[in-house]
Amino acid sequence: MTLLTDALLAETRKRIVPPRTTPPSTTRSAVPPLAPGAVPGLGHAAALLRDPLGFLGSLSRHGGVVRIRLGPRTVCVVTDARLVHTLLVALAHDCPRGAVQDTLKSAFGDGLLMSEGQAHRDRRRIIQPAFGPDRMAEYLAVMHQVTEERAGRWRPGQVLDVAKEMNHLALEIVTRSLFDARLSEEATLAFHRALPDMVKGQIVQSLYPHPALARVPLPVNRRFDAAVRVLNRVVDQAVNGRSGPAGPAPSAERRGTLPALLRAAVDPATGRPLTEADVRSEAITMFGAGTETVSTTLTWLLDELLRHPEVEERLLAELDEHLPAGTVPTPEALARLTYTRSVTQEVVRLHAPNAFLMRTARVPVELGPYRIPAGTELLYSLTALHRDPVQHPEPLAFRPERWQDGGGVGRPSFLPFGAGKHKCIGEAFAWAELIVAAAAILRRWRPVAVPGARAREVVWTTVQAQGLRVRLAPRSAAPADRGTGAPAAERAVTERAVTARAAAGRCPFTGAAAAPAARVRHRPPAELRATADRHTDWAVRHGLLAPDELPGYRAYALHELIGHAFPNTRGSDLDLLVDMLGWFTILDDRFDGPPGRHPGEARELVDPLITALDGDAPSAASSATPGGRLLTAWRELWDRQTDSMSPAWRARAAREWRACLATFPAEAEHRARGTVPALGLSLADTMRLRRHGSCLYPFMNILERVHGTDAPAALHAEPALHRLRANTADAATLINDLYSLEREERQSAAAFNTVLTLQRVRGCTRSRAVRAVRTRVSRLWQENEELRRELRRRHPAGRWYLDGTRELVAGVQAWTSTSDRYLVPDAQPR
């Protein structure tokens, strides 16, 4: 029998594309294989345009070099990072730039980005002093000042279009740093309006079967030509040092700028000074290379930090240590920001902005085992290369730790700025710009995601980040002040209050005294006590508990958790909820013993429970064994849950219970293999695994059971609801981790506790790890409130369900502050 628990383990090992298979045996100078799926007349053009990254990423299965057809043209796609490195370094002379760059060459001239051979070497030698180490300190000060000025104009509560704002910021940094100029607001807006038309025209014209089509007055060509004219006008402003149309002319004060370097240089080929056309060509190169790719990367950086607040917390801690607020960054300070550099490297890897670039073989060449005829166009995608699971395990996972201790730096598989003689001359400038801008923004502001407005990939020649909007909150506000709605004074809580909550009796998020069960709304305390008595009778009757175990079990006060989390539930529904929670707690305690360390025992216990969801009754199950007794009680609970519920609800509930139960063997498997959190299992994978193991998903489904009807189908189809449910489960898990910390610190088996995981991952103190978890809970709470507002607006009939998810987390928080479940032995009341 195929075990569902194995499927859950396999899920955590998914790659962006299936692992590369070994191509058929090849001899030297083999012809690259043709990719399958070509359509007559179009070839692979439709697949490339429909899903560029997916299509290019899939080609690595067929070989290191793969032929594709784009209409009548045949292009070779290089999918192996080592062969791309060979193409850019060893074969750079024989394989000059291709059709994509040629489009810009016709528009902007033969500048550094487009030139080849001796002309390229000469031009690079002229420009190199502008990016020398002696200039970096000056550039850092300008980058810092520009970002501070722009961020200083933002206001609390303002909703920011991040891509647009980062574009403006990057353009201003380039203009002020390299040109010592200021563009008018009108010129800045014109630049950004024109850039998309230039990029779209560039890719379309590079795919034309004949270059003459670029001169046909098609709409895309007209827009491209208009964009080129606008960009030239804007660049003229910067080159000539004007802040606007009537700005000042160049002066001696600007002789250290890039235009001054170019105007003072002599063309070695002619012995004459460079022309103004040459100066403009190099300027437009710096504007294009230094604006769009950097601004796109900054947008993705903010988006990833929104998704990974634990990364942001560690990044800010490093800034506190090595770049205190208000200080101007220096090269020495940046060198100490090793984790911040790792974060930016991971953003660049995961979101490499170059969707595809091209070279052309001007003579026959050999690329690995493949023979490439003269005239062949060679295409490669840095985005696809950086998401290759062979070179970068878990390629879609955002894992800055993969770059720690120099890991991955300098590898041929990481080529964000190219390689060889054409490697980007401004690489050091770009890394510095990313770090300085991010540091200045995050020091001042905490971006909060606007529901439904996260970054999405839009692919042209570059992979752009569009759609991200954030609401700005001042960074000076305490993290817990931003989401719980309680007064700030109540949320001033010490580290001791988190880990000694039994003695203090206070909530670690509000600092207020925990709410007793008697304060539950609409229900007399006696009703909950009677429910608790019926539950313990039920547990003893099913053999789940022995009479001598009842005192310790009753101290858990599980009925109070249900009372807080489901404040309006009465009667048989209340009995069902307490019985469900009690049964799950007893099952969970079993995995503190041998089943939690031995996957075989874990499966023996869990697989019959999963099978029972389909109505099957394994003959091996016996009510005389602990596992058999759990199974008998589970069958009854499943019948009670599903009674009178719709088929859609039953299917959803069964799916969530399968995922929940399967986490027990999955965790046992990780313990047995040694791939516990931070030791082979990433924090992100740990949270995904435990998200379902928290039992919150099944209890969110029970909201519909006790309400008497399914939530609207349209609400269930909303991606925002999926995010809200995931946040709800994560928040409950993290709250549990804070309260169970003392107990799990003393366990001999590796604990799946986020605080302990953060200590191992970051090497940080216990106090800092606790603060990071508290901050994450607060942010999850705030994001869920924003999601609820949006979902209530679109689905008012589902308001009861949305409010119920809030009460679930509030119930977990209230109960954990008073229950004895997480007391360590020497902390038991005397």
How does pLDDT run across 650-706, given as a tens digit for each residue? 999 999 999 899 988 988 887 787 665 545 556 666 777 778 888 899 999 999 998
Residue 247 has pLDDT above 50, yes or no: no
Nearest CA among 367, 377, 390, 373 for reference residue 85: 367
Smallest CA-to-CA distance from 464 within 380, 355, 343 is with 355
pLDDT value, residue 6: 44
Strand partners, 366: 371
Residue 248's pLDDT band (cuts 50, 70, 90): very low
Give per-residue burial for 742-779: e unless 16+ CB within 10 Å, then b. Answer: bbbeeeeebbbbbbbbbbebbebebebbbbbbbbbbbb
Q: What's the confidence (pLDDT) of residue 406? A: 55
- Give the separation between CA 602 and CA 590, rounded to whole angstroms: 9
Per-residue model confidence (pLDDT) at position 325: 76
Tell me the backbone φ, ψ of residue 370, rounded to 5 degrees: -105, 145
- Contact at 8 Å (CB) between 254 and 241? yes
Lowest mean pLDDT among 49-53, 374-378, 761-765: 761-765
DSSP 8-state symbol, 327: P
Task: Reply yes or no on whether the pLDDT at 205 is more than 50.
Answer: yes
Q: What is the pLDDT of residue 106?
A: 62
Give the separation between CA 678 and CA 690, rounded to whole angstroms: 14
Is the pLDDT reported for residue 254 higher than 60?
A: no
Residue-level pLDDT at 249: 42
Q: Please state, in angstroms and rounded to a whole number, the distance separating the CA atoms of residues 429 and 441.
A: 18
pLDDT at residue number 492 = 29
Residue 567, exposed/middle/buried by CB under 10 A (0-12, 13-18, 19+)? middle
Mean pLDDT of the chain: 80
pLDDT value of position 557: 86
List the one residue out of 93, 74, 29 whose CA is nearest residue 376: 74
Is residue 575 within a helix (H) or strand (E), and if so which, with residue range? helix 571-590
Identify the three-state secondary structure at position 527: helix
Judge whether residue 54 has pLDDT over 50: yes
Work out the average pLDDT over 380-407. 86
Residue type, 751: A
pLDDT of res. 240: 77
Least confident range from 160-169, 396-405, 466-475, 801-810: namely: 396-405
Query: Rounded distance, CA 813 to CA 827, Å?
Result: 20
What are the φ and ψ backbone dihedral angles of 296, each rounded to 5 degrees? -65, -45
User: Helix 338-350 and helix 427-444: axis angle, to 10°?
Assistant: 110
- Given the DSSP bridges, would you call strands 456-459 and 357-360 parallel, antiparallel or unpaired? unpaired
> What pLDDT band is residue 13 in, cutting at 50, 70 and 90?
very low
Q: What is the pLDDT of residue 187?
A: 83
pLDDT at 805 > cutoff 70: yes
pLDDT, residue 27, reads 46
Average pLDDT of the segment spanning 777-783: 88
pLDDT at 362 over 90: yes
**Spatial contact of 391 and 413, defined as CB atoms under 8 Å apart:** yes
Q: Lowest mean pLDDT of 85-99, 251-265, 317-331, 755-769, name the range.
A: 251-265
Which residues share a beta bridge with 471?
159, 448
Please check the confidence at residue 526 and state whether its pLDDT lies above 70: yes
Q: Give, in order, the Cα–Cα distances in Å from 411 to each of 395, 406, 418, 428.
A: 16, 10, 12, 17
The span from the CA of 612 to the CA of 824, in Å, is: 35
pLDDT at residue number 637: 94
Give pLDDT tens digits for 541-590: 999 998 888 888 888 888 888 988 998 888 889 999 999 999 999 998 88
Q: Treating both helix axes as pointing N-terminal to C-terminal, what angle do 754-762 and 766-794 enclose, rounded to 10 degrees?
A: 120
pLDDT of residue 743: 73
Cα–Cα nearest to 389, from 397, 401, 379: 397
pLDDT, tens only, 594-612 = 888 888 999 999 999 999 9
Q: What is the pLDDT of residue 207?
A: 67
Q: Are 367 and 91 in contact (CB under 8 A)?
A: yes
Q: Is the pTM of this model over 0.75?
A: no
Is residue 152 pLDDT above 70, yes or no?
yes
pLDDT in tens, 86-99: 999 999 989 987 66
Q: Is 424 in contact with 430 (CB distance < 8 Å)?
A: yes
| Position 491 pLDDT exceeds 90 | no
**Strand (E) or helix (H) holding 371:** strand 370-372
- Give percent of the chain above pLDDT 90: 35
Confidence (pLDDT) at 499: 35
